[in-house]
Structure 1
Amino acid sequence: MLFSLKSLSIAVALLPLVVANTQDVQTRGTVPYYLVFLAQDTDSQAAADNTLERRLADPVIMINPTDANFGISAEAPGRLLTSADGTKIFAEARGNPAKPAIVFIHGFGIGAMAFDDIFNDPLWLARAYLVRYDTRGHGRSDKPTTAAAWVSQRLAEDFDAVVQSYNLVKPFVLGWSFGGSQIADVLSFHPQSYISGIIYDAGVPYQSALPTIGSPAGFAVVAGLNQTTNVTEFQSGYIDFINLCDPALDWDFYLACLGDGVVQPRAILNLSFTRTQNNTGLIQAGTTGALPTLAIFGGDDQVVLKQGILNALAGWQNLTVVTLPDAQHFTWISRPVLFRATVLNWIGA
């Protein structure tokens, strides 16, 4: 089949967006925006041109790396929410809303894309309603750099915006790595009944516990991550950080992790790590057994210390501890089957 020059020139321009085959779409969760056009075998030149014109007419938000709308189009999954202080928060939900809901909160420096393998897994989608969002300062969400934007209440309000937008009722909350500390923010402004349970995945339970939870190797890379004058040191520090999370990541995912770090203003590291929070609500919920808690660890995690986290959870009632053998800091990537079974069985999905 021959295309007009107009059609051919546009198609060539869009080639970087094309998924190689349908299997890639299913396993990577890529939206097949132009796949149908390039794969179809129409009988006429007019039909081909009309198909292309119709697809290009779909509304698309222009991509701007400094804008909260970066990478979002009318065809892409997810939505931009407005938090109470006006901050735009990117969020996404997949799966069956009738199933138990789990809100995933990512760690520092790597946005919600970290959970791609989970959100693209049909076995997860069949048994749970999965919700994730880029916390402020990360990914496609706004990145405010004033101290007022980083008080505990602001982060709790971001979570509230997600809950309200997706009509969630008592979701489970999974906090990975430093993202686990934001559960304490939520419980500072809501009763224990607001959520059904806590899942700490190599998670920091609260800010003040961080000094005893981070590994020596983890703290060693912070200077590079916080570098604002030496490009080489920043690049080296971020590469070291990702390799510390897992030294054998898929290349595309590895680059995506580095990309999330590059679009983040350096000031956000200090704002994230130096903000204060009240962990009274969290500790009360845990020590009274009011909120069931699952703590998952990677047997080969090089970023956080298991014993440090358990010390922070001392006195916790209704606590289940699971260590995944040979798993790195990206536990669900290292041991996907064990991780999925652990979480879904625990929430009763």
Structure 2
Amino acid sequence: MALLPWAVANIQDVQTRDNTLERRLADPVIMINPTDANFGISAVAPGRLLTSADGTKIFAEARGDPSKPAIVFIHGFGVGAMAFDDIFSDPLWLTRAYLVRYDTRGHGRSDKPINAAAWVSQRLAEDFDAVVQSYNLIKPFVLGWSFGAAHVADILSFHPPSYISGAIYDAGVPYMAALPNIASAAIFAVVPGLNQTTNVTQFQSSYIDFINLCHPALDWDFYLGCLGDGVVQPRAIVNLGFSRTQNSTGLLQAGTSGALPLLAIFGGNDQIVLKQGVLDAIPGWQKLTVVTLPDAEHFTWISRPVLFRATVLNWIGA
């Protein structure tokens, strides 16, 4: 099938609780061919390309009911916004919230700049701002999974806590400086293979190990999608992502002052993130709710979809 050079409306049928069928308009289907210095990706996907303050193209998508509470989902290392496919195709999520996700710079369908200036904290905060502005979001909740949770520290370095309604750490890294204390020995053993640029076999083996640490029994198509996101990412971006610095002051002040509610979700079988290390990194957080999902892996919402959905939606009051 030829790639479509124009937008095509994406109509979703949603079964409501009273068994009526609603039709909802989501982001249009567009051709993806960002001005990427590393890879020109040509594909068709529902969503839109936004332009961040420094000109970086950011791929984003929204689904659900815009009249309901908005949640911006920020993915972790290596795996882009496609990580949340199960959530974004679930009618029970779509009827109770407005779901927004984006490929952070260096991932998926977004641009992949490899200059250090593109990876300072302000640039990542501006990417989030571009998403907020494009979708006319007012005080959205922010759900950061794994590395994605660290983006909350970027956001709060340039905005007051009132910019968002609350933060959700899903097996989340609170800020980059905390990484040595919250990551497991298993993931540290994998990082050197991900962080080198010369040995293809070592990288391939390490990335497979990384995905298996996230969840040992993924659906085959989703598993291949996770591996594919790793392939389209330039190796230099791994170094830039791991070595970037942040100021965690705004984040920690938002917590200790009681200005920002935080929901911290952990997987009981998470092989990557250490729960106590995360909690130690945010001492004195006033409005903190901690939930551990029994038997859940690092992909918490895939391991325990019903419990994860109920935990998040009940907490945001949806």
Do Structure 1 and Structure 2 share a fold, with TM-score over 0.5? yes
Structure 1 residue 188 corresponds to structure 2 residue 160: no
- Deviation string 1:236-285 (CA, Å, 9 cap, x unpaired) is 00000000000000000000000000100011111111111111110000
Q: Quick check: 2:77–2:146 contact (8 Å CA) kept in 1?
A: yes
Letter in 2 for 1:82: T
1:300 aligned residue (255, 269, 275): 269
Matched ranges for 1:225-240 at <5 A: 225-240=194-209
Q: Quick check: 2:30–2:47 contact (8 Å CA) kept in 1?
A: no
- Structure 1 portions without partners, runs of 5+: 1-9, 15-24, 28-57
Structure 1 residue 222 corresponds to structure 2 residue 186: no
- Deviation string 1:2-35 (CA, Å, 9 cap, x unpaired) is xxxxxxxx7xx99xxxxxxxxxx989xxxxxxxx
Deviation at 1:68, TM superposition (A): 5.9
Q: Secondary structure at the match of 2:201?
A: helix
Deviation at 1:69, TM superposition (A): 5.3
Residue aligning to 1:71 = 43
- Deviation string 1:73-112 (CA, Å, 9 cap, x unpaired) is xxx3100000000000000000000000000000010000
Distance 1:62 1:161, change over 3 A: closer
1:208 aligned residue (168, 171, 177): 177
1:147 aligned residue (91, 109, 116): 116
Q: Quick check: 2:146–2:171 contact (8 Å CA) kept in 1?
A: yes
Residue aligning to 1:18 = none
Deviation at 1:70, TM superposition (A): 3.3
Sequence identity of aligned pairs in percent?
A: 80
Q: Quick check: 1:68–1:142 contact (8 Å CA) kept in 2?
A: no
In terms of fraction of residues, the more strand-rich structure is 2
Matched ranges for 1:252-291 at <5 A: 252-291=221-260
Deviation at 1:60, TM superposition (A): 5.0
Letter in 1 for 2:292: T
Q: Secondary structure at the match of 2:53?
A: coil
- Deviation string 1:270-329 (CA, Å, 9 cap, x unpaired) is 111111111111000011111110000000000110110010111111100000000000
Deviation at 1:128, TM superposition (A): 0.2
- Structure 2 portions without partners, runs of 5+: 4-11, 15-28
Deviation at 1:227, TM superposition (A): 2.5
Structure with max Cα Rg: 1
Task: Report the TM-score when normalising by structure 1.
Answer: 0.81
Q: Secondary structure at the match of 2:46?
A: coil
In terms of fraction of residues, the more helix-rich structure is 1
2-structure distance, mates of 1:69, 1:161: 21
Distance 1:182 1:63, change over 3 A: closer
Q: Which runs of 4+ in 1 moved over 3 A?
A: 58-70
Q: Quick check: 2:31–2:42 contact (8 Å CA) kept in 1?
A: no
Q: Quick check: 1:99–1:129 contact (8 Å CA) kept in 2?
A: yes
Distance 1:128 1:266, change over 3 A: same
Q: Secondary structure at the match of 1:221?
A: helix
Residue aligning to 2:9 = none
Deviation at 1:234, TM superposition (A): 0.6
Over aligned residue pairs, what C-alpha RMSD do you find? 2.0
Q: Quick check: 1:68–1:141 contact (8 Å CA) kept in 2?
A: no
Residue aligning to 1:39 = none
Matched ranges for 1:329-340 at <5 A: 329-340=298-309
Distance 1:230 1:164, change over 3 A: same
Structure 1 residue 197 corresponds to structure 2 residue 166: yes
Q: Quick check: 2:157–2:249 contact (8 Å CA) kept in 1?
A: yes
2-structure distance, mates of 1:237, 1:61: 29
Structure 1 residue 126 corresponds to structure 2 residue 95: yes
Distance 1:201 1:61, change over 3 A: closer
Residue aligning to 2:80 = 111
Task: Report the TM-score when normalising by structure 2.
Answer: 0.89
